[in-house]
A = this chain, B = another copy of it.
């Protein structure tokens, strides 16, 4: 449950290869490297190969969640940076961050509304669909 992006001193010591992460999240290694290039991930290096920790796994998870909601990688990077730099900064920065947070919340609220609206429209389609099906089956049994 309580996953965090901030280091969480040293709970889990597991590491992952890029291939492992890719299989886990059903993306390609290319995608993961691309996210790193875009500043969404920052894995350790051993020699020249990448080593991913819990922090990276959580970040990737957050990234893919954002993608499913239609966020751009730039927007997701913003959220991640909010996450990482929440505690520091002066008063003006902190207040600005609270503003940004409020705005993000408004965006999510709107998405909630959009989803509800779409659900209702699916209801409509399903209703009409079932009616047609019922009429069809009624004719079937009548003609039998």
Contact = CB atoms under 8 A, between A and B. Distances in A.
B68 A137 contact: no
Contact of A126 (B4, B98, B117, B137): B98
A74 interface: no
Q: How many copies does the complex hold?
A: 2
Contacts of A95: 133
Contact of A110 (B68, B79, B121, B129): B68
Contact of A129 (B65, B94, B114, B121): B94
A26 interface: no
Interface string A54-79: 00000000100111111100000001
A91 B4 contact: no
B69 A118 contact: yes
B68 A128 contact: no
A129 B87 contact: yes
A36 interface: no
Contact of A128 (B69, B86, B90): B86
Interface of A: 4, 62, 65-71, 79, 82-83, 86-91, 94-95, 97-98, 101, 104-105, 108, 110-112, 114-115, 117-119, 121-122, 124-126, 128-133, 136-137
